[in-house]
Every structure is written in structure tokens, then in C-alpha cells.
Structure 1
Amino acid sequence: MNDLADRFFAAVRAGDTAALTALYDPDARIWHNDDGREQTVEENLRVLRWLARTVNDLRYEEIRRHPLADGFAQQHVLRATLPGHGPLEVPASLFVRIADGRITRIDEYADSAATAVLRAAGPR
């Protein structure tokens, strides 16, 4: 579980969609509290590609990870620099479900006030 989690967050930081594709179950769904809808894997990869191209020095800090029976929960602060805006600091929690070594679902809760600038600029 920790290895998969480490590989997942490293792939997000690197914008490595090939690695992310390998980690996701093809039918996985990703839900975000800021819009209340589920994304397909391809929709999520499009957002993550955009994020990797748009922000600088993306990193996860203050990580607290907790094993769950079917995956893990992680609390963290995503930090980056958004050109033309400055530093970003987004407290977030993810609940990640895993089956057969692949991510089947993510429920992400991020501080919507902190992500407002990203939503305004983003591909959603």
C-alpha cells in the first residue's frame, strides 16, 4: 500500500501520466468535493497533465497516511508556485481504494478557497 501510494504521488508530481495510467484500474472513478462530480481516468489524467504543465515546484508536504482495509487515506498540504499568482498551499485529504494492486476510486477533499485560483485557470 505505501509503495503504491508513493508511486502515485511521485507520478502526479512528475506529470507522468503513463505511470498513473498503470496505477489506475481502467474503470476507476475520481471524485472531488469542489465540484461534486466523478471523473473518469482519462478526465483525471487531463487535469493532472494540465497541473504538471501549469504549476512549478509541485510537492506534497505534512503528509499523514493511514492504512484502510481497502486502501489508504492521506492528509497533506499540496504546495506549488502558480506563475502570475505566486505560492499555492492547498490542504487536502484523499481516500484511495485499491483492488488487485490498482486504484479503483479516489475521493478527494481539498480546501476550495485555496483551489479557487486553479479552478479559475484550469481545464475543468
Structure 2
Amino acid sequence: MSAGVSALADRFFAAVSRGDLTELDALYSPDVAVWHNYDDVEQTRAESLRLLSWLAAKAGPLRYVDVRRTVLDDGFVQQHVVELGGRCEGIRMPAMLRVFCDDRHIRRIEEYVDPGPLNARLAASGH
């Protein structure tokens, strides 16, 4: 299963980086929940896809660098730095995700990231 989970993780981060909502929709289980540390809110599938679409439009394409991933029995943990693109070029945001999944679908994501630099850049540019 670890090879399948790692392949799913690769597909997930590639889809997020290019804003591929069709691929993300296919990877999410019907009842996926996505939680963020910065607002302590659990998003639904539709809310997560909407946020990722917004992120791709405002700061894409995203690049994941300094990736460290550990595959677990019920998913994976990944630490990385997100390098933003577009009008947010130059912003780097360290992040960590705990993803609960099998080799086909993501059931839950717990994301730890500070979106402050992104929000400040967008506010300064009037977006």
C-alpha cells in the first residue's frame, strides 16, 4: 500500500500545484474533511475545492520544495515549503499536512500553515 499512497500523494500535490480541480475531485472521497490550523475550521469537499481554485488563481502555480514525506498505515505526513507564483512570487510558506487516505482516495487532511504572508501580499495589492 505504501507505493500506492505515495503515488496518490504525488498526484494530489501535482493537482494542487496546477489548480486541477477535476483531478482533486477524483482524489477526494465523497465525505472528505479538510481542516486548517489557522482557522480551526473543517471544510467540506466543495469548500476545499473552492479554496484551492481561489489559491491557484491568486498565487499559482505553486511549487513544493524541501519535501519530506512519511507514509503511514492510514495515509501520510508531508512537510514542505510552498513557493507561490503569479502576483505572490517570492513568498515561501513552510507547511505540514497529515493526510488520511488509502491508495485511491483522501478521507481527511489536517494542514498546518501560516497564510499570513499570502494574505498580506494580496491585501497590499488590493486583491
Query: Normalising TM by the smaller chain, what interval?
Result: 0.7 to 0.9
Residue 63 of structure 1 contacts residue 76 of structure 1 at CA under 8 Å; is this kept in 2? yes
Matched positions, count: 120
1:3-46, Cα deviation, whole Å (9 max, x unpaired): 00000000001111010000000100000000001000110100
Amino acid at match of 2:15: A
Structure-2 change in CA distance of 1:54 and 1:113 (3 Å)? closer
Which segments of 5 or more consecutive residues in structure 1 lack a partner in the other structure? Answer: none
Which has a greater percent of helix?
2
Query: What percentage of aligned pairs have identical amino acids?
Result: 47
Displacement of 1:120 in angstroms is 5.4
Structure-2 change in CA distance of 1:115 and 1:109 (3 Å)? farther
Q: Secondary structure at the match of 2:38?
A: coil
Displacement of 1:118 in angstroms is 6.8
Q: Secondary structure at the match of 1:87?
A: coil
Q: Secondary structure at the match of 1:77?
A: strand
Displacement of 1:117 in angstroms is 2.6
Q: TM-score, normalised by structure 1?
A: 0.87
Q: CA RMSD of the aligned region, Å? A: 2.0
Q: How many Å separate the matches in 2 of 1:98 and 1:20? A: 13
Which stretch of the first structure deviates more once superposed, 25-34 or 109-118? 109-118
Structure-2 change in CA distance of 1:119 and 1:96 (3 Å)? farther
Q: TM-score, normalised by structure 2?
A: 0.85
Displacement of 1:81 in angstroms is 3.2
